Amino acid sequence: MAGATDAAYRQICMGYGAAYAVSEMISAKAVEYGDRRTAALCDLSQDKRPVFLQLFGDSPETFAIAAKRLLAYGPDGFDINMGCPVPKIAGNGAGSALLREPEKCGAIVAAVKDAVDVPVTVKLRAGWDPQHVNAVEVAKICEAAGADAVCIHGRTRDQMYQGRADWAVIRQVKEAVGIPVIGNGDVTGAMEAALMLDQTGCDLVMVGRAALGNPWVFQQINTYLTNDCRILPGPGIAERVLTIRQHIGLLCAYKGEERGMREARKHVGWYARGLRGAADFRRRAGELCTLDDLDRLLKDMYAANCAASQEE
């Protein structure tokens, strides 16, 4: 979710009912060295609360230094990333590579807990590969080290984002620890969230990639779980267009129009999925340079899909 779940998008998701949000991944080493670009990722001044800062790295000492420094930004907690599978993270001993060193996982959690006075959670994968599925072992070690909750993604590192997530692993972790367990993987809507809660006994459900261009998923999940399994339909074209404009407007307000519009291109492409004319809108999204460009695209998107709904 790096490069996507910044303050602007977190604000949109929280507005649609996300219980809490987690920042993009922040390098503990970069924080220790005082990198200014990394500091921008830690700014929570525009966020709705609660929001956790997520750290990655491979040294307990560096994690502790970074977490202590980042308290100045007022996070509601810290999330330790032990699940990222991408080579530039795992290949340097961080993210999911930590699963190969369970004792280090515990040392990292203990170091952060000693350094800060806010909750500390851990994001894990099922394991490194099918021969080393050790989420239960690592979760128990993290609990003993003081973790306040663990989130389990039901895929191994070598699966990346392919295949089905193994929810049985989430259930096994829930049965093995006493702290809250958050389930993650293949939750694309309200019914999947309800199924995960039922099949695993987990305490919360985390939605990741399925929320890209689809912040309404949180509202749909909450409605389904609290209103006798009522399925809330997706947004109409008017709400969709207004949400896109709000999101990209925030993005430009926080980062400046030039950078904001560059980053807007992928978001608008995600928002266009399932709409009439989606292929053309995605192409035009890739050419966005100004908010005026966006407004013209949204006007055409609204017109095309209003006409489609009238034909139906």
- For 188, the 3-state DSSP assignment is coil
* 51-56/21-27 β-pairing: parallel
Catalytic (active site) residue 84: yes
Query: What is the distance between the alpha carbons of residues 290 and 49, in angstroms, rounded to a whole number?
Result: 30
Please tell me the distance from the alpha carbon of residue 133 to that of residue 156, in angstroms, as a whole number: 7
Q: If you search the block for the tokens 């977190």, which residue do you land on? A: 10
Contacts of 120 (CB under 8 A, 6+ apart): 67, 77, 78, 79, 80, 109, 112, 113, 146, 147, 148
The neighbour count for residue 78, using CB atoms within 10 Å, is 28
From the list 42, 84, 105, 142, the catalytic residue is 84
Catalytic residue annotation: 84
